[in-house]
Amino acid sequence: MKARGALSLTAAAVALTVTVQAPAGAAVPTPDPSPTTSVSAARAEETNFASVDDADLTGKIDKHIARYGGQRRGANQIVWSDKGAVMTFPTPVKATARTAYARIACGYGDYCLYQHALWDREGGAMIAFYEYGLHQLADFGWQDITSALENNQSDRAGGAIYDDATTLNRSRAWYKADALGSGNDRADIAYLFP
């Protein structure tokens, strides 16, 4: 039985390596980039919040504000006071600099989502929510990029992140998830509750 499966797999692998050539003199069309690849590349560029210098950081913040609103606060933040959220961009890092932990601190009373796992040396951005309610992450440019979280709210205040109707993480105050496992880069909604 095992030999038959191996033979089928080998035959399938051989079949995949066959190359079809166009007839002599025929024009061979150049494949267009896949729309999915173009969208993925554009999304990767849009969510690359790391910067190499102050001018690069300012450009990324200005571009983010132009697309998602909010107001600049300080050197590396955008605040949406009407939505109860603050996004913090990582400060510029020289290409040769490496730190053990580049995580942005989650303020007291905040529910924070991180772009990269908490131990990620590349840093990454953080968005902090400080008002109860439902927050659509796409409104902030944060859909499908959350990799870690910290619930630094007080008392028994809770928070949850969802991928559509699927709960990815639900926690009470003083909780931290250094990584989200199968929920990595899937969150669409953050919900804060008393």
- Residue scoring higher pLDDT (62 or 3): 62
Q: State yes or no: pLDDT of 130 exceeds 60.
A: yes
Give the Cα separation of 109 and 151 in Å (integer).
Answer: 8
pLDDT tens across 63-120, in order? 999 999 999 999 999 999 999 999 998 887 665 555 544 578 899 999 999 987 665 5
Q: pLDDT-based confidence at 184, cuts 50/70/90?
A: confident
Give the Cα separation of 94 and 96 in Å (integer).
Answer: 5
Query: Does 142 reside within a domain?
Result: yes
Query: Does 170 reside within a domain?
Result: yes
Give the Cα separation of 76 and 91 in Å (integer).
Answer: 7
Query: Does 4 reside within a domain?
Result: no
Residue 85's contacts (CB-CB under 8 Å, 6 or more residues apart) are 79, 127, 128, 129, 130, 131, 135, 140
Query: Does 9 reside within a domain?
Result: no
CATH code of the domain covering residue 92: 2.60.20.10
Query: Does 173 reside within a domain?
Result: yes
Query: Does 22 reside within a domain?
Result: no
Query: Does 177 reside within a domain?
Result: yes
Predicted TM-score (pTM) of this structure: 0.71
Residue 166's contacts (CB-CB under 8 Å, 6 or more residues apart) are none
pLDDT number for residue 192: 96
Q: How many CA atoms, within 13 angstroms, populate the side-chain half-sphere of residue 103? A: 21
Taking the CB of residue 167, how many other CB atoms lie within 10 A of it?
12
**What's the chain's average pLDDT?**
76
Query: Does 122 reside within a domain?
Result: yes
Number of structural domains found in the chain: 1
pLDDT number for residue 11: 35
In terms of residue numbers, what domain contains 182?
Answer: 33-193
